[in-house]
Amino acid sequence: MSKGQLYPTEPLKSWGMAKKAREEFYLDYRDCHAKGGIRWAGGAWALDALTYGLGDDVFSITSEPYGASCAFNKDIAMKCMETAEKYGYARDLCAYMRIYWGSVLTKGTYPWGGDYPIPDFIYQDHICCSHAKWYQVIVDHEPQIPMTCIDVAPGPFMPGTDVQIKPHQVKYVADQMLEAIEWLEKTTGRKFDDEKFIEAVKTECINTSTWANICVLNKAVPAPLDEKTMYSLYVLNTLCKANKRITPVLKEVYEETKDRVARGIAAVPNEKARVMSDTQPPWGFLKVFRYLERYGVVSIGSLYTFGLMGIWEVKEDGTWGGRTLPWEKGIEIKTREQAAYVNADWNLSKPEFQHFYHPKYKTRMMTRIAKEWKLDGVMLHYNRGCEGLSLGIAENRLGLLKAGVPVMIFEGNMGDEREFDEVATMARIDAFMETLGLKKDY
Amino acid sequence: MITAGVDVGNKFTKVVVVKGGKVVSKAMTATGFDPAGAANEAYDKAVSEAGIAKGDVQKVFATGAGAIEAKFANDTVTVVSADAKGAYTLFPAARTVIDVGAEEGRAIRLNDQGKIADFAVNEKCAAGAGSFTESMARALEVPLEEMGPLALKSDKTIPMNAQCVVFAESEVVSLVHAKTSKEDISKAVHDAISGRVVSMARRVGVEKELVMIGGVGRNVGFVKCMENGLDGMKATVLDDPEYVSAIGAALLAAE
């Protein structure tokens, strides 16, 4: 027993599987041309199920997780950002975007070796202020790359609540997807396969609902997972949420996490208090989460880790859980039109989409997490690197305080270490821990 | 019980010795580039002034930006906790504590039991702290201690960019060239710096009684401008405001 230990702990066995799946994603993207495959780029929220209709040898790179991976390596991140700045792009823009641009513009910065592999086409969505501009700049520098973009902002949608979406709003997105099929066929010269598309739509529903159900298991005390570990797991859906290769990995994580709950295995063996964070962490400083553990504090996740790629609904008992799969509710997916509609409807209910419409939705979801996951406090990251997800965060703070949840804020940047003050942040954590009545175990 | 509190601040290191809840001695040295040496020096002075031996001090708690440099301390506490303890003990009616030092400003809201209900701390930028005034005093070629009284002589409001000391200094130079009086410029400087602190205080919610601590508490110009920014709410500046964190640390050490 280590000092302060209250619960048994053990490493998460499926972590290695997840890590391997992540690495394969980046290598497949880089190497697929050698096997006649196609590679494309777009955001993590791109409606990527569509691209599976082009065949099994089509691989993507998703720009935000790519930016995060680079950010974890501070040298690469700095090289990329300084390159983007030399080209004249402002330092206060999205950090992932600047890193991505810098990676495209700089030789030898692909973290898995070599130069950044230029995509054959760009297929993006647009809800964040940076989304479409992100790739517009890429096309400015690489004008041979064809690009299309889908607007996914028809309105808020929170399944199981009073915030409902109307069919014509879903159709607005689904119709764009159907148009994009024609564009993809013309751009790649390949015939679109409806069966593969339908299979990908179903796979995405399974993968994203499974992730939500994994997060639900973290309601247990002690928490079976901690947020730092969850970053290595949630990322799979940010890379290829409609890919059937990650389904067994997520199922394995789910089963193992369920088993940990049954056996009382803790992620943080001295768990005495529970918090959540908010948006992307400062990726180069994940030691923040290990520092919390010295106080016996586990971060059980965040709206970001739960809702960036988990799809949720409010269940009949009033709790939050993975959204019911469409076919379990009798919804048919037999045609390309049905598949596009289901996929649009599914994606529009993404929790992290909602606060683009109003901060009250995010406050509502965070307050729910604070209650259902039995939290003692919340750490809000005023993330200067992400205008989109930081939008309304000061309103969220007020809303959480009003709901009786203690809140600590810290300023930083998910990708730009120049805007993160490690010493000041640790000092602020110390103060917050003291206000929660906690003392260091070691 | 005899305890000591050491506050290793960015500019000055303060030490107090407390016996039975009462301050029996205090000492201060410039922190400079040797915070460990400054802590030792101030501690030696305070112990000597108390007329006791170091061995008589049963527990020492350190706080401040350089708290870990006080190697002789038994433990460290955050400035927020030390401030809350010190201010509430010295002034039990305190519900809002504003602490402005050389490089940092913080606002703390206390509940009826003196526990911290919420707090805010300024970020990397020192624009809302004492070093800002010091920098502006240099630009105005006025001794630092005269800046506050000068500001009280002005009733003008001149907007100033307080987001950045560098830009603000450039603005001061422009105002000097525009023949603006030093009184008015000093008032503008204090309006700007206090505006940052007021904004931070409003974030945590300002409740009576309002207490001001930290070295900037000695600056009458700052306090007046801050009160104006808080719609005239009066701030009680505690005696020896720069020692309150150290007192809080010593009191926490006694618990």
Per-residue pLDDT tens digits for A178-224 = 999 999 999 999 999 999 999 999 999 999 999 999 999 999 999 99
Separation CA A213–CA A376 (nearest Å): 22
- Which pLDDT does position A1 carry in this prediction? 59
User: Does pLDDT of B166 surpass 90?
Assistant: no
Per-residue pLDDT at A401? 95
Residue B209, preceding bond cis, omega within 30 degrees? yes
Instruction: List, for residues A222-243, the tens digit of each pLDDT value.
Output: 999 999 999 999 999 999 999 9
ipTM of the complex: 0.71
pLDDT of residue B127: 60
Inspect the interface and report whether the beta carbons of A421 and B124 lie closer than 8 Å. Answer: yes
pLDDT band at A350 (very low <50, low <70, confident <90, very high): very high
Q: Which two tokens stand for residue A422?
A: 């490690």
B104: distance to nearest CA of chain A, Å? 10
When scoring B76, B103, B123, B125 by the number of chain A Cβ atoms within 10 A, the one with the most, hence best to mutate, is B123
% of chain B beyond a pLDDT of 70: 96
Structure tokens at A25: 């994603």
Residue B177's pLDDT band, with cuts at 50, 70 and 90, is confident
Torsion of CA A91, A96, A99, A104, to 10 degrees: -130
Give me the phi and psi of A119, to 5 degrees please. -75, 160
Nearest to A435 among B116, B121, B124 (CB): B116
pLDDT of residue A407: 96
Q: Provide the shortest C-alpha distance from residue A402 to chain B (in Å).
A: 12
Considering A289-303, A380-394, B118-132, B167-181, the range whose residues carry the highest mean pLDDT is A289-303
pLDDT value for B103 = 82
The number of beta carbons lying within 10 Å of the beta carbon of residue B246 is 34
The answer to whether residue B126 scores a pLDDT higher than 70 is no
Write down the pLDDT at residue B163: 62
Predicted pLDDT of residue B192: 86
- Is residue A358 over pLDDT 70? yes
Q: What is the DSSP secondary structure assignment for residue A9, as one 8-state letter?
A: B
Q: Using one digit for the tens of pLDDT, what is the confidence trace for A258-280?
A: 999 999 999 999 999 999 999 99
B interface test, pick of A419, A425, A430 with most B CB neighbours within 10 Å: A430
Q: Domain B1-91+242-255 class?
A: alpha beta
Q: In this complex, which of A411, A421, A431 lies closest to B119 when CB atoms are compared?
A: A431
What is the full DSSP assignment across A88-126? Answer: T--TTS-HHHHHHHHHHHSTT--TTSSS----SEEEEEE
B199-232 pLDDT, tens digit each: 889 989 999 999 999 999 999 999 999 999 999 9
> How many Å separate Cα A3 from the centre of its chain?
34
The reply to whether B1-91+242-255 and B92-237 are identical in fold is yes
In angstroms, the separation between the Cα of residue A221 and the nearest Cα of chain B is 26
- Give the percent of chain A with pLDDT over 70: 100
Q: Which of residues 159-218 of A touch B (CB under 8 A)?
A: none
Please give the helix or strand (H or E) that residue B29 lies within, else none: strand B22-30
Residue A37 phi/psi, 5-degree rounding, is -80, 175
Mean pLDDT of A300-319: 97
Give the per-residue pLDDT at A105: 93
Average pLDDT over residues A160-164: 97
Residues A143 and A205: their CA atoms lie apart, in Å, by 35
Mean pLDDT within B153-178: 80
State whether residue B116 sits within 8 Å of chain A by CB. yes
pLDDT of residue B125: 61
Q: Where in chain B are the domains?
A: 1-91+242-255, 92-237
DSSP letter assigned to residue B76: E
Taking residue A6's Cβ as centre, other Cβ atoms within 10 Å add up to 15
In this prediction, residue B2 carries a pLDDT of: 97
The SS3 call for residue A47 is coil
A312-314 and A320-322 beta bridge pairing: antiparallel
* Chain B residues touching residue A428 (CB < 8 angstroms): 121
- CB A122, CB A41: distance < 8 Å: yes
Task: Label residue A107 by pLDDT band (50, 70, 90).
Answer: confident
Q: What pLDDT does residue A138 have?
A: 94
* Cα-trace Rg, chain A: 21
CA A384 vs. chain centroid, Å, equals 18
Q: Say whether the peptide bond before residue B169 is cis (omega within 30 degrees of 0).
A: no
CB interface of A with B, residues 384-423, below 8 Å? 401, 406-407, 409, 411, 421
Summarize the confidence of residues A321-332 as an average pLDDT.
97
Closest among A71, A65, A183, A62 to A125, alpha carbons compared: A62
Q: Report whether pLDDT(B128) > 70.
A: no
For residue B123, name the pLDDT band (cuts at 50, 70, 90).
Answer: low
**pLDDT at position B161 over 90:** no
Q: Which two tokens stand for residue A174?
A: 């689904």
Residues of chain A found within 8 Å of residue B77, distances taken between Cβ atoms: 434
pLDDT of residue A4: 87
Query: Do B79 and A431 count as a contact with CB atoms less than 8 A apart?
Result: yes
pLDDT at site B172: 85
pTM of the model: 0.87
Fold of B92-237: Nucleotidyltransferase; domain 5 (3.30.420)
The mean pLDDT value for A298-327 works out to 97
* A427: nearest CB among B78, B115, B118: B78
Return the structure tokens found at B161: 């960019």
pLDDT in tens, A386-437: 988 998 999 999 999 999 999 999 999 999 998 898 988 999 999 999 999 9
Q: Is residue B119 within 8 angstroms of chain A, CB to CB? A: yes
Residue-level pLDDT at A397: 95
Q: Which of A428, A439, A441, A442 is best to mutate for the B interface (most B CBs within 10 A)? A: A428
**Residue of A409, A434, A442 to mutate when probing chain B, most B C-beta within 10 A:** A434
Per-residue model confidence (pLDDT) at position A232: 94
Q: How far apart are CA A416 and CA A379, in angstroms?
A: 19
